Structure formats: C-alpha cells, structure tokens
Amino acid sequence: MRTLALALTLVLSLSVSVPARAAVDETNANRLNALGLFLGTGSGYDLGGSATRLHGIIMLTRMLGEEADALSFDGPCPFSDVAAGKPSAYTGYAFAQGYTTGVSTTTFRPNGALSFKHYVTFLLRALGYDDGAGDFTFAASLDKAVEIGMMTRASADCILQKQYALYRGDLVDLFVSALTTPLADGSATLAESLAKKGVFTWEEGRAQGLIGGGQESYVHSSLRNTGAPKPEQSASSGAVSRVTKTYALPSGSVSADVITVDTSAPGVSVRAAMVNQKLGASAPFSSIVSASGADVIVNANFFAAYSGQDKFPVGHVMADGTFLYGVSGLTSFGFTGSGAVYVGRPAVFFYVRGGRDSWACYEMNSKT
C-alpha cells in the first residue's frame, strides 16, 4: 500500500479514480466487434481502461458511419500533440467536419479523460439531436438520454451524484444503447441508419440483436444485478483506506485524514487535474473536486502564496504524459503510467535548435 501525501511542488490536484465496477462483461464488446464498430487493443478490449478524448472521436466517426472517410482523410491535422497515422487522420477529419475544436488551436490532448457528458453529447448528436438548436444542453445531456430511453434515470442520477469516470466498457454499453434508440426524426434507429449506409448489413445487425430487438437502455455497472448503487470501496477492498489520526507536535496535537491507496490495484488510476485544461488557471477547490470525477482528490498547490490573476506553479508540471512547465532544482512528486510513485529533484534540460545553431537551456516555459 502506498500513502498519497500532498505534492508540495505541484500546482495541480492529484486524483485517484476508483469507482466500484462489476465483473467485466464482454457481450456488448463482442456484438460491436462483429460489426466492425469496436476493435479493442492489441491485448484485448481493455474495457476497464479509461476512456480518452481520442476514443471519443473514433467512436463518433463510427456512430456517424464516417470512419472510412476519416481514415482516408489526407488533409492537415492542426494538433501537434496527436500522433501521426490513424490518430492524426481521425482528429484531422473531426476538426475539418467541425466535430471538435481541440483544447487549443494546436493541442487536442488525445489521452485526456473523456466524461460521460461529453460522450453522451456525441451520441445525441449522432442520433440527430442538435444542442446548438436547443434540443438539449451539454449540462443536461444525461437528462436528455433518460428522456429518450437511452439511459435509465437511476444510472444518470448515480453518475451525476458520484461523478463516476467513464471507462471503455461504458463507451461500448452506451453505444449499444444508442444503436437501438430511434433517431430524432423517428425515421429509423441508429443501427438501421448505419445499415442503410452500408456500414454493416441488415442481417448482421439482426444477428447481433441491434436491429429488430427493441431498445436497450444503458445501466451503469454499479446498479447492475442489485437495482441499487453498490457501496463504495472500503478498506477491506485493499485498494483504498481512510483513517483519521492524531499526531503530537511541539505546538500541540493535530488531527489529519490519512488516505492510503494501492496504485497497482486493478481499476486504480492517478492523474493530474488541471483547471479548464490550462496551466496557471485557478478555481475553488470544491469546483475542482466536482469536475475531477475522482473518488479521492488531494489539493497540492501553492496558490495561497501568490497574488494577482495568474497562479504560476512551483516546480515541474507534467499532465497526460506532456511536460508543461519546469523550474530546475526543486523537489517534485509524481506518478508513472504504471502507478509507481517518485519523489526527487529531476534535472530537466532542453536542447534547442534554431537554423544551424543549437544550444542547451533550462527552465523552459517557466515564469521569469
């Protein structure tokens, strides 16, 4: 077990998402895979993995029956943080079609977390509902999904109250629900419209029960089998525990909540939560907590030490695998992709090239 302490050199909040999940059921993944709508990874479907912004764009092109157009797209991709090849084709096509604008003019954050509201918004648009015309709002996207039978009321309430993170398994199950839901104009279901476009045949859709089998409403994993939310993970689960301890200090005793997290446990992920995806932005801690979608969040910043509008960090900042900010010589606290914890003073230097000249530098992007 590893204890999460305050990361005193970070400006970001560290969150650990550990929602209770039922045993992985690959039925819907197999149904979509048979139709070429969900391909999985090299090591399987990874249904327990986090859903990312790139996953959302890929699934959107499939919902619209436009994946072939996306993969053959040869226009430019404006996002420098998207890998060449298929990721660039998907995001470049989505940008050209107006499906996404990225998080800035040059960045997309393909590995950034995708929320339930964002993904359900994609699904509603694929069904022909137009939030720009007032058919629904992003904030109430889950309510609209309930209204049209795509999601159960209990699931929407559970997701909103618990701020559950979106997993790849949720992508699959929600997509199945959308496929069996009628389009906004009532002309057909989404699955029937994709069959008409030639994405798969009518017979293939029937064989998977997605055509002619009736509507399937999405039910969140925490509600399955019992009909009520399962209790949140406790210390007995071995992944997360919380205790209140009293410590004796020269100035007197002090009580503190100690949260212990096994970062190697299945389903546990650690990430840096940035306010509005912007370095230096700030918000009330309660707002950061609400937007994080995490079960545990640790405030780890020096915002109170600053004055003025911009709140610049102290130390190094890395989020979603991208190095954003560096001030050399200061202690940093961080997690690797495998969940390992590191504390130290990394010497980060940059090698800059300009024309025929090149030189080493440090404190790149830091406030001067």
Residue 231 has pLDDT above 50, yes or no: no
Is residue 107 domain-resident?
Answer: no
- Residue 230 sits at the vertex; the CA angle it makes with 226 and 234, to the nearest 5 degrees, is 150
DSSP codes of every residue in 325-342: E--TTS-EEEE-TT--EE
Report pLDDT digits (tens) over 66-80: 989 999 999 999 999
Any idea which residue has 């509005």 for tokens?
276
Is residue 56 domain-resident?
Answer: no
Looking at the structure, tell me whether residues 210 and 330 fall in a common domain: no
Is residue 81 domain-resident?
Answer: no
Maximum alpha-carbon separation in the chain: 76
Residue 301 has pLDDT above 60, yes or no: no
Is residue 277 domain-resident?
Answer: yes
- Mean pLDDT on 80-102: 89
Give the pLDDT of residue 133: 94
Looking at the structure, tell me whether residues 287 and 253 fall in a common domain: yes
Looking at the structure, tell me whether residues 11 and 147 fall in a common domain: no
Give phi and psi for 358, each to the nearest 5: -150, 150
Range of the structural domain that residue 289 is part of: 2-16+239-362
Domain end position, chosen among 167, 196, 223 = 223
Residue 265, CB-side half-sphere exposure with 13 Å CA sphere? 21
Looking at the structure, tell me whether residues 117 and 137 fall in a common domain: yes
Domain end position, chosen among 223, 256, 289 = 223
Is residue 99 domain-resident?
Answer: no
Looking at the structure, tell me whether residues 151 and 41 fall in a common domain: yes
Looking at the structure, tell me whether residues 266 and 201 fall in a common domain: no
Any idea which residue has 């050209």 for tokens?
96
Antiparallel, parallel or unpaired: β 240-249 and 2-3: unpaired
Is residue 65 domain-resident?
Answer: no
When divided into structural domains, the chain yields a total of 2
Report pLDDT digits (tens) over 120-168: 998 999 899 999 999 999 999 999 999 999 999 999 999 998 889 999 8
Looking at the structure, tell me whether residues 129 and 10 fall in a common domain: no
Looking at the structure, tell me whether residues 212 and 245 fall in a common domain: no
Is residue 195 domain-resident?
Answer: yes
- Mean pLDDT on 304-318: 64
- Give the Cα separation of 348 and 363 in Å (integer): 8
- Mean pLDDT on 224-235: 43
Residue 65 has pLDDT above 80, yes or no: yes
Rg of the Cα atoms in the chain: 23
- Give the Cα separation of 272 and 279 in Å (integer): 11
Band of pLDDT at residue 291, cut at 50, 70 and 90: low
- Mean pLDDT on 182-208: 94
Residue 45 has pLDDT above 70, yes or no: yes
Looking at the structure, tell me whether residues 138 and 215 fall in a common domain: yes
Give the pLDDT of residue 1: 31
For the chain, percent of residues with pLDDT exceeding 70: 70
Looking at the structure, tell me whether residues 273 and 341 fall in a common domain: yes
- Give the Cα separation of 356 and 340 in Å (integer): 40
Q: Residue 169, class by beta-carbon neighbours within 10 Å (0-12 exposed, 13-18 middle, 19+ buried)?
A: buried
Q: In this structure, is the dihedral angle defined by the CA atoms of residues 42, 43, 45 and 46, taken in order, positive or negative?
A: negative
Give the pLDDT of residue 266: 64
Looking at the structure, tell me whether residues 180 and 258 fall in a common domain: no
- Mean pLDDT on 233-241: 50
Is residue 117 domain-resident?
Answer: yes
Residue 267 has pLDDT above 70, yes or no: no
Average pLDDT, the chain: 78
Residue 298 has pLDDT above 90, yes or no: no
Q: Is residue 92 within 8 Å of 112, Cβ to Cβ? A: no
Picking from 290, 288, 283, the residue whose alpha carbon sits closest to that of residue 309 is: 283
Q: Is residue 336 within 8 Å of 272, Cβ to Cβ? A: no
Give the pLDDT of residue 365: 66
The CA–CA distances, whole Å, from 326 to 7, 80, 283, 363 equal: 15, 20, 22, 5
Residue 193 has pLDDT above 80, yes or no: yes
Looking at the structure, tell me whether residues 196 and 341 fall in a common domain: no
- Which letter does DSSP use for residue 48 in this model? T
For the chain, percent of residues with pLDDT exceeding 90: 35
